[in-house]
Amino acid sequence: MSESTNKSGPETVLIIDFGSQYAQLIARRVREAGAFSLLVAPDTPIEAFNEHNLVGIILSGGPSSVNEEGAPRCSEEIFNLGVPVLGICYGMQLACSLLGGKVEGAHAREYGRSSLQVVKNEGLFRGIPADTAVWMSHGDQVESLGDTFDVLATTSTCPMAAVAHKTIPFYGVQFHPEVTHTPHGVELLRNFLYEICNIKGTWRMTDFMEQQCKLIKEKVGDKKVLCGLSGGVDSSVVAALIHKAIGHQLVCVFVDNGLLRKNEKEFVETTFRDHFDIDLRVADAAYTFLTDLEGVTEPQLKRTKIGHQFIEIFKESASEIEKESGEGFDYLAQGTLYPDVIESGHGYSGEAANIKLHHNVGGLPEELGFDLIEPLRDLFKDEVRKLGEVLGLPDGLIWRHPFPGPGLAVRCLGDITEEKLRVLRDCDEILLEEIVAANLYRHTDQVFAVLLPVQSVGVMGDGRTYESVVAIRAVETQDFMTADWARIPYDVLATVSNRIINEVRGVNRVVYDISSKPPATIEWE
């Protein structure tokens, strides 16, 4: 059982990530069970563990072999912290090795579903059937443990599929309880948290909100914070949270780059200036952006130009506000999320880190010389939406589909003109109206129209036309890393097509994109 602690903050489970593709999934499962969780690198100093209200530690799986040179390891001191430790796959093998066991290459490697026989139906396996399916993915396994461990479960090829140390609160499982392919895996993780770690399960989004408000107040003091508001979910939740914490010490800047959806500026102004009484400044920079993009057709050049102009306009806006008020800004607020931090390798040096550089992690703060405030950097996307609900943001904003930073520039293929943007906005508005009317908006993850740089022959009335082609893109995804095209009902597609061709001047053909990601990307450019 875990020792009680007087440390403030939420009950926290630290997950030492050895490079598992499922590490983030473990973190989510813990949070869903009612405890806070964070991923840490194997070489995290043991002193850092004591900074948290620590109730448990989980050692993730990973692609390495415990016996190979350079394999990631963690400090043996984790077993002296007075909290239970659960090892999963590689995490089990490493811990057993550190505690005197022997790990060898398995005689029969297990990949996929396997049948598990539970030996001790208590503690970790309380309420779990004696025979159950689990998901295995390992080449090594524990071969011998001596008399300091109890065997909790076995498979036909893995006699030590789950173990517990007799004197140290360590438990190990060779399979992956965090994946859906292990039917009772969530129950096992909850058993570890509630039966072994003795968590109270009190972590809630309201607690997170109150804690962040307190931290923001302490960090900012009487200084001012600048926030770039895009109208998307992340920046909107950041703005609402910081405003709740420090009120009018927050100033938001919304840059109208001329590449927004129809009525987007009005929507943002109404929501934040009127509903939340936030100090919102709108930079009308459409002419500057569109002039700079004139004749540009290459997608990456579009993105580069838009990014550069955004920084320049944002800097100008910040300077104007400072001159007007006589006060400078010390902090810049950003909507960086937990997956962004992990994938970019910032603030975490785990074995699976540094996958990509994310647009929210670096760049603008260096240009402006501000300190960063990133109150969402420990949250997943669905948790950000929950926080938005707690903050009172309208459903229409919380559940908005993602909109690319370069806006309609990457949905208007080829060169960009005011007329093409008009056509695209009108098409996009009709598409979203019909998706909402068909109750499909919350069942899809991203839906939008794309104006193609081709024209086709058509017949309208009794005359021949030669007008633009519009593509419809609708996808379903869990993480936006992979995606499948959404099976929109034919009658809905027919209505969208008929309305676009009949109502939008300049379009005579509508096509539907049925490519998945990969190999295609979600956006066309």
pLDDT of residue 127: 92
Eight-state DSSP code of residue 125: G
pTM of the model: 0.74
Say which residue, 186 or 349, is predicted with more confidence. 186
| pLDDT class of 360 with cuts at 50, 70, 90 | very low
Known catalytic membership, residue 181 = no
Catalytic residue chosen out of the listed positions 52, 138, 176, 346 = 176
| pLDDT class of 378 with cuts at 50, 70, 90 | confident
Question: What is the average pLDDT across 376-404?
Answer: 88
Ranking 239-248, 263-272, 338-347 by mean pLDDT, the lowest is 338-347
Catalytic residue chosen out of the listed positions 89, 197, 227, 427 = 89
Counting DSSP H helices and E strands in the chain, the numbers are 15, 18
Checking if the pLDDT of 342 tops 70, the result is no
Buried b (16+ CB within 10 A) or exposed e, 306-320: beebbeebbeebbee
What's the CA dihedral at 125, 130, 135, 136 to 10 degrees?
90
| pLDDT class of 76 with cuts at 50, 70, 90 | very high
Catalytic residue chosen out of the listed positions 11, 74, 96, 178 = 178
Question: What is the average pLDDT across 321-328?
Answer: 86
DSSP helix/strand/coil, 103: strand
Checking if the pLDDT of 462 tops 80, the result is no
- Dist CA 19 CA 294 (whole Å): 45
Known catalytic membership, residue 178 = yes
| pLDDT class of 483 with cuts at 50, 70, 90 | confident
Q: What is the residue-wise DSSP string for 230-260?
A: -SSHHHHHHHHHHHHHHGGGEEEEEEE-S-P
Checking if the pLDDT of 141 tops 80, the result is no
C-alpha closest to that of 322 among 268, 273, 253? 253
Say which residue, 336 or 468, is predicted with more confidence. 468
Buried b (16+ CB within 10 A) or exposed e, 409-448: bbbbbeebeeebbebbbbbbbbbbebbeebebbeebbbbb
Question: What is the average pLDDT across 253-274?
Answer: 90
Ranking 119-133, 269-283, 300-314, 434-448 by mean pLDDT, the lowest is 269-283
- Dist CA 437 CA 417 (whole Å): 30
pLDDT of residue 380: 82
Q: Could you write out the three-class secondary structure of 23-68? A: HHHHHHHHHHHCCEEEEECCCCCHHHHCCCCEEEEEECCCCCCCCC
